[in-house]
């Protein structure tokens, strides 16, 4: 039996990669990882969070933008992830205008991942360590399977985690006045 080696891509090759389909890929240690389409519930949660956070950003009169699932984040030399949602500031918006590919080199203000069935290790372990190394100060893991929300806050290079369930009010360092519960996230869609 002959082992076939997968092609490994540099970060620059990843930015230029186009297989002629609409498939989105993340880059993990040089390997292209196709991202499967989201479930309907996943998409509804993403829509709810986007709308909710847009209103909060407007209420606070901030120059931030929400990028739902279409902007990547470089997490290491040959690694790039595409979070379900990121929040970026005004200078990062200006940076996006000049980029040939929508992959941020600087960490977003906040990254949010919605756990997919059979894929929880990616969000709870791999992306967690990559996001910490890349300097994302706040990372939310929305888990519709366990019906919980984990808020991870970067402290001295590692994430401290607080988990919320049911009607517990979520505490976010980025949105200190937010009025949001897991029940709202999982039942509103």
Confidence of residue 86 (pLDDT cuts 50, 70, 90): very high
Task: Work out the mean pLDDT of the chain and round it to a whole number.
Answer: 90
Q: How far apart are CA 157 and CA 153, in angstroms?
A: 10
Helix, strand, coil fractions of the chain, as percent rounded to 5: 30, 30, 45
* CA–CA–CA angle 115, 117, 120 (5° rounding): 50
Q: Which of 85, 87, 82, 35 is nearest to 64 (CA)?
A: 87
Q: What is the predicted pLDDT for the residue at 109?
A: 97
Q: Model-level pTM?
A: 0.89
How does pLDDT run across 143-174, given as a tens digit for each residue? 999 999 999 999 999 999 999 999 999 999 99
Query: Which sequence spans correspond to the domains of the chain?
Result: 38-187
The superfamily in CATH containing domain 38-187 is tt1808, chain A (3.90.1570.10)
Q: What is the predicted pLDDT for the residue at 5?
A: 66
Residue 12 clears pLDDT 80, i.e. is over it: yes
């Amino acid at each position: 039996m002959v082992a076939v080696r997968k092609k490994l891509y540099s970060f620059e090759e990843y930015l230029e990669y186009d297989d002629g389909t609409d498939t989105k890929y993340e880059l993990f240690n040089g390997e292209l990882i196709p991202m499967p389409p989201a479930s309907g519930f996943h998409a509804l949660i993403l829509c709810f969070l986007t709308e909710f956070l847009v209103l909060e950003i407007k209420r606070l009169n901030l120059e931030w933008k929400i990028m739902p699932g279409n902007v990547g984040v470089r997490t290491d030399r040959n690694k790039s992830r595409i979070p379900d949602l990121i929040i970026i500031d005004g200078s990062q918006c200006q940076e996006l205008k000049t980029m040939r590919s929508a992959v941020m080199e600087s960490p977003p203000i906040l990254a949010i991942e919605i756990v997919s069935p059979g894929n929880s290790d990616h969000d709870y372990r791999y992306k967690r360590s990559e996001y910490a190394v890349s300097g994302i100060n706040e990372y939310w893991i929305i888990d519709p399977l366990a019906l919980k929300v984990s808020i991870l806050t970067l402290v001295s290079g590692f994430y401290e985690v607080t988990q919320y369930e049911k009607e517990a009010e979520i505490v976010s360092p980025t949105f200190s006045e937010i009025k949001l519960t897991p029940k709202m996230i999982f039942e509103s869609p």
